[in-house]
Amino acid sequence: MVKIAQVAGFLGSGKTTFLIELVKVLVDRGHKIAIIVNDVGEINVDVRIVEMYGLKAKEISGGCICCQIAGNFANTIAVLQKTFKPDLIIVEPSGVAIPWGLKRAAEYSEEEMEGEMIVHAPVVTLVDALRIDELITSVRRLVETQIREADVVFINKVDSATQEKIDMSVKFSKSINPNAEIMFGSGRNNQGVREVADLIEKRTSPRYDETYEKEMLKREYGGKA
Amino acid sequence: MADTMNHIERAVAALGDKPVDRLTAYPLAMGVCRRVVGDGKMTYRDWVSDPKKFASAFIEGQKRFDFDFAIGLMDLSVAAGDMGSVVRMDDQNTPFVTDPALKTVEDYEKLTVPDVKKGRSHVLVEGTGLFVQALGSQLITAAFLEGPLLSLTQAASAEKVFMDMYNNRSAVHKALKTITEYNGDMVKAMGAKKPAGLVWDYLWGSYSCLGDAEYEEFEGQYARGLNELTGKEGMAMCIHNCADLPHLDTQIKAFKPAIYSMAYYPLIPGSPSPKETIEKGYADNCLIGGQIDPRASCAGARRRCRRPP
Ligand SMILES: Nc1nc2c(ncn2[C@@H]2O[C@H](COP(=O)(O)OP(=O)(O)OP(=O)(O)O)[C@@H](O)[C@H]2O)c(=O)[nH]1
Ligand SMILES: [Mg+2]
């Protein structure tokens, strides 16, 4: 079994900073971790503790996982599994990626892994409280999608955001996804990271293929399987 | 069951809303067919760099799989690469941009029209010409191009472009105009190769990214001219959009493509299933190409199969 955890969020929301703190916590707890990120270049992590693979999730956009790109992502996971054998893979998707789409792409890797199953950790979406004004105007639809499909909305950068902006972030997130768990913290100050690590360890998020099948049956046959 | 129609009869019947002997097959991701060429060892890098190799996957793939259409999709970084982005080409992976060419607002403004006789644009045009020549009498062939907004997001990173649509609007339009000019040159070059159709990838026509007004502003106004030019150059205009929550009213009802292919993504609330798309009338004047999720058709079926005792 490989668990995949997505740390989503728009450009500059603090994903990489957060993810590094998160990985440290999880490695201390004895996990073997691999990270798949958009841009390997800008990350500076101790390579002894993590295996890193570069992946452009850019083309995974607006719901489209260009069929061939989905194959690359699945292949990256399968290769990781064969060579490094992590028990947890943390993914930093681009801000235009759709969490459901990434789940689907990740599940494709099962084809190449002989009996290994993919399990999804809760999808964590970071909301940048410092830039909430900009997020709810210029790229609103993209941010809405990420929040709508999150299991956990992590209001980030509370170390420097005003209470007013934090409140605005909560209100916006709840209006889009009332079911998501709302958490607060700061990747920079290592605040709230342990709590997210707990959720990633303990909880799971639904699989794409099972949810898809249920949804299609419901639509085609009115809910009767 | 034996086929009773040939490829062209079947495709033409489907387009004309007449009965067909079996579902028409419209493959998009043909890179995989390089593996049925020769010793099966052609790399992806080779496939996208040499017109003859590109065409060979279509020609050999056709012998093996008996498709009804040949659609010349290479990858989504052809234009971005020719605009100066660094494209990584692996042995077994689809090429992708690792370092976008357009980094600043000035870069949008300074962008010049790439020469379609050079770079991978040239490979794509010539490669398309070769498979059209080889297969055009047996099945329906089409060129495949990235729309201007898709090319721009590939050449400048999507997140940046989406922010700049608001913060640096006129610069974004300047770049889109340049890319549209390039696309016009590509349409003419493709038209000279005489494929039956040309498929536009208008990927960002998704309500999860852009509303109606923004979609019109950043794609619609540029797409209209290109759609028209496609017809003028003698090719049937087709659209591919595999985004969720697609702009069906604009892309099907207003743009009027002959074929609209989409990868259904029904888990996003409000995203239409194939059945719903047809029920709502979008298939009345347009052939809707749906998808068989590769995983659902392979893995899903296999999981349900039992080995005989
Ligand atoms: N105040 C504050 N700033 C932060 C925090 N986390 C990250 N930042 C800053 O936010 C900016 C972006 O941080 P990254 O971690 O690179 O964010 P990202 O989401 O990975 O960015 P991209 O990969 O470019 O989308 C940097 O300038 C960080 O220093 C935080 O918790 N508090
Ligand atoms: Mg980052």
In the predicted model, is pLDDT for residue A224 greater than 60?
Answer: no
Per the DSSP assignment, residues forming a β-bridge with A205 are A120
Helix (H, G, I), strand (E, B) or coil at B38: coil
The pLDDT assigned to B93 comes to 78
The pLDDT assigned to A40 comes to 45
Contact B85, B135 (CB under 8 A): no
pLDDT level of residue A71 (50, 70, 90 thresholds)? low
The model carries a pTM of 0.89
Cβ(A211) – ligand 1 distance below 6 Å:
no
Distance of CA A62 to the CA centre of its chain: 16
Distance of CA B276 to the CA centre of its chain: 23
Both tokens of residue B196? Answer: 């039956």
Least confident of A78-82, A97-101, B133-137: A97-101
Helix (H, G, I), strand (E, B) or coil at A5: strand
The pLDDT assigned to A52 comes to 56
**B269/A94 Cβ within 8 A:** no
A67-89 average pLDDT score: 79
* CA A17 to ligand 1: nearest atom: 15
The parts of chain B modelled with pLDDT lower than 50 are: 305
Q: How far is the CA of A185 from the centre of ligand 1 (A)?
A: 13
Whose C-alpha lies nearest to ligand 1, atom 21?
A12
Contact A87, A4 (CB under 8 A): no
In the predicted model, is pLDDT for residue A66 greater than 70?
Answer: no
B244/B258 Cα distance (integer angstroms):
21
**A145/B295 Cβ within 8 A:** no
Q: Does A137 touch chain B if contact means CB atoms closer than 8 Å?
A: yes
Q: Which of A54, A64, A211 lies nearest to residue B242, judging by beta carbons? A: A64
For chains A and B, CB pairs below 8 A equal 135
A50-68 average pLDDT score: 50
What does the longest C-alpha to C-alpha distance in chain B come to? 69
A224/A178 Cα distance (integer angstroms):
27
Please report the residues numbered 39 through 78 in chain B whose beta carbons come closer than 8 angstroms to any beta carbon of chain A. Answer: 75-76
Cβ(A192) – ligand 1 distance below 6 Å:
no
Q: Does B141 touch chain A if contact means CB atoms closer than 8 Å?
A: no
Cβ(A63) – ligand 1 distance below 6 Å:
no
**B75/A58 Cβ within 8 A:** no
In the predicted model, is pLDDT for residue A187 greater than 90?
Answer: yes
Go through the domains of chain A in sequence order and give each one's CATH number. 2-221 (3.40.50.300)
pLDDT level of residue A225 (50, 70, 90 thresholds)? very low
**Angle (CA) A190 A2 A95, round 5°:** 55
The pLDDT assigned to B19 comes to 94
Q: Does A112 touch chain B if contact means CB atoms closer than 8 Å?
A: no
Which is more confidently placed, A119 or B97?
Answer: A119
Strand B140-146 and strand B69-72: the pairing is: parallel
The pLDDT assigned to A54 comes to 53
In the predicted model, is pLDDT for residue A131 greater than 60?
Answer: yes
Whose C-alpha lies nearest to ligand 1, atom 3?
A157
Residue B165 — φ and ψ, nearest 5°? -55, -30
- The radius of gyration computed from the CA coordinates of chain A, to the nearest angstrom, equals 17
**Torsion from C-alpha of B205, B207, B208, B214, nearest 10 degrees:** 70
The amino acid occupying position A116 is E
In the predicted model, is pLDDT for residue A64 greater than 60?
Answer: no
Nearest CA in chain A to B88: A56
The pLDDT assigned to B48 comes to 96
Least confident of A124-128, A220-224, B68-72: A220-224
Q: Does B86 touch chain A if contact means CB atoms closer than 8 Å?
A: no
Q: How far is the CA of A154 from the centre of ligand 1 (A)?
A: 13
| Nearest-CA distance A108 → chain B (Å) | 6
In the predicted model, is pLDDT for residue A65 greater than 60?
Answer: no
Both tokens of residue A84? Answer: 């490094």
Both tokens of residue A175? Answer: 């209006």
Please report the residues numbered 1 through 30 in chain A whose beta carbons come closer than 8 angstroms to any beta carbon of chain B. Answer: 10-11
The pLDDT assigned to B97 comes to 85
In the predicted model, is pLDDT for residue A47 greater than 50?
Answer: no
Cβ(A12) – ligand 1 distance below 6 Å:
yes
Please provide the size of chain B in residues. 309
| Mean pLDDT rounded to a whole number for chain A | 84
**A72/B93 Cβ within 8 A:** yes
Q: How far is the CA of A156 from the centre of ligand 2 (A)?
A: 14
Contact A112, A73 (CB under 8 A): no
Q: pLDDT tens-digit profile of B238-271?
A: 999 887 788 999 999 999 999 999 876 666 767 7
Both tokens of residue B91? Answer: 């042995």
Q: How far is the CA of B306 from the centre of ligand 2 (A)?
A: 45
Contact A146, A99 (CB under 8 A): yes
Strand A64-65 and strand A60-61: the pairing is: antiparallel
Contact A183, A157 (CB under 8 A): no
A29-49 b/e (C-beta count within 10 Å ≥ 16 → b): eebebbbbbbbeeebebeeee
Q: Does A36 touch chain B if contact means CB atoms closer than 8 Å?
A: no
The burial class, CB within 10 Å (0-12 / 13-18 / 19+), for A14 is: buried
pLDDT level of residue A58 (50, 70, 90 thresholds)? very low
A184-204 average pLDDT score: 97
CATH topology of domain B7-306: TIM Barrel (3.20.20)
Write the ipTM. 0.82
| Nearest-CA distance B70 → chain A (Å) | 17
Q: pLDDT tens-digit profile of B147-186?
A: 999 999 999 988 899 999 999 999 999 999 999 999 999 9
Q: Does B158 touch chain A if contact means CB atoms closer than 8 Å?
A: yes
